[in-house]
Structures are given as C-alpha cells and as structure tokens.
Amino acid sequence: MKELTLANFPLALRVVFTSFLLTIGVGLMMAGAQIMMTHGMADGKVGLSLDDVVYSYYGNKEGSKIEGKLNGSMQAMAPDAVRLDMIKWARAGADEAQWEPHYKAVFAQYCAVCHSAEQTSLPNFTQYENVKHMTETDEGASFSSLTRVSHIHLFGISFIFMFVGAIFAFARFNQLWKLVLVVTPFAFLIVDVLSWWLTKLHPGFAWLTIIGGFGYSVAAGIMLFTSLAQMWLPRFRNTSE
C-alpha cells in the first residue's frame, strides 16, 4: 500500500491545506507586528526588549501607567510638548482643579478618538476618574487581565498548532524530529504564558517570554514551510509518484 504523504494528497486537500497554512502564516506575521507596536514600544524604543516585557507585565514602578504609555506605544499620538505637559501633570498628582479648564480638552483632542465611551474595551478618557486611575504607579498587567489573556491564548493558539502539526504529520521527515517539532510549539506556548505570570511576580523571568514566543514561532514556521514545499515543489512530487 502506497504511503500517504503530503506530496500525493488529492489536489483538493492540498489546496485546502495550503489556503489554511498561508492564512496562518499571514496571521503570525500580523501578530508579530502587533506585538512590536504595543509591547515592543513599552520602553519607548523600537524593537522588543527585556525592558518591554518587564514594563508590560511587572510594570514600571518609577512612573505611572499613563507616563509609560505616552513614552511608549502612544508616543506618536501627541506632539512632544503636549506629552510632556500631560506627564508633568500626572507626576504632580493630576490635580482635579486643572482638569476642566485645561486637561479635559487636551485628552479629548489627542486621546478620546480611541479612549471614549464608544470604545468599551479601553478606559474612557473623557472622564477625570479614569484618567486619574492611569496616573497611579504602573503595576503592569493585572491578574484579572492575565487570566483573561492566558486562557484565550492557550485555547486559541493551541488549536492553530494542532492543525499545523496534523498537516505536517504527513510530511516526509525524520520521525524523531517530526515528533519533536509537533510537540515543541505546545511546550513553548505553555512557557510563554507561564512567563507572563512569573514576570508579574518578578522581573527576572522576562527572558522566558522572549524565549517562549521565539521557540513556538520557529517550530511552527518550520512545519508550515516544510508542508507547503512538499505539497507543491516538483522534487517532492516526483519522488512520491
């Protein structure tokens, strides 16, 4: 009986698998771009660093939440002079007496496009109480937000790795290394999510987050490109016929 491999799958199955893998590949790139534009700007510098991870999960105990955002991922949202004025006000205790005559209009102009009552997932910066809360010491991600994001990642991304691994299981590949590659993304996903909680407790665990994300990205990338190559490149198609 002829061995069933990616190279000799029916055309319809290869088209379906290819469409899925290409979509997942684009999704992974978009996820990487999103990380760079949010967590990757936590320290105000382009590129993901240990400080970015620490500020995102452990927090920046030397500054407020709003200062971290204005110097990081939200840096481009307002002119430097405006940002510095907002930061000085926050450092001085965010005096409510200055809210109505000045800062309410500033936040409405530069922040309320996203931070308004219509955007329920973000703090409403048209109200002083919400802004005041953001001027408190940056404690990083809350335990409630970590719980929410953790279960979403574990449930959602594990399904992606399951389907990518299931397709890759039919590739011509060293059996031992095939098993290692199939298991690796799941292991690094657990390391990645666990590292968020550990970093929240102590900044010394931040390096685990970078290792976890890098590990499952590389393993998934190898499986994805290997599967696509063996389904369509002539050298693999010829050996299966």
Distance CA 30, CA 23 (A): 11
The residue written with tokens 């790139």 in the block is 29
Sequential DSSP letters for 31-95 = HHHHHHHTGGGTTSSSS--HHHHHHHHT--TTSBHHHHHHTTTTGGGS-HHHHHHHHHHHHTT--
Q: What is the pLDDT of residue 138?
A: 75
pTM of the complete model? 0.75
Contact 124, 117 (CB under 8 A): yes
Instruction: Name 64's bridge partners.
Output: 137
pLDDT at 184 exceeding the cut of 60: yes
Per-residue 3-state assignment (H helix, E strand, C coil) for 153-195 = HHHHHHHHHHHHHHHHCCCCCCHHHHHHHHHHHHHHHHHHHHH
Could you state, in order of their start, the residue ranges of all structural domains in the chain? 8-42+141-240, 63-134
Name the residue among 160, 162, 169, 159 with its Cα closest to residue 230.
169
Query: What is the overall mean pLDDT for the chain?
Result: 87
Segment 145-149 shows an average pLDDT of: 93
Q: Which helix (H) or strand (E) holds 226?
A: helix 206-232
Model confidence pLDDT, tens digit, residues 55-112: 889 887 777 778 878 877 788 788 888 888 888 888 888 888 899 889 889 988 888 8
Distance CA 112, CA 208 (A): 35
Contact 107, 126 (CB under 8 A): yes
202: Cβ contacts below 8 Å, ≥ 6 apart? 58
pLDDT band at 210 (very low <50, low <70, confident <90, very high): very high
Distance CA 171, CA 169 (A): 6
pLDDT at 122 exceeding the cut of 80: no
Distance CA 51, CA 11 (A): 48
Cβ burial of 227 (10 Å; 0-12, 13-18, 19+) is buried
Contact 172, 8 (CB under 8 A): no
pLDDT band at 165 (very low <50, low <70, confident <90, very high): very high
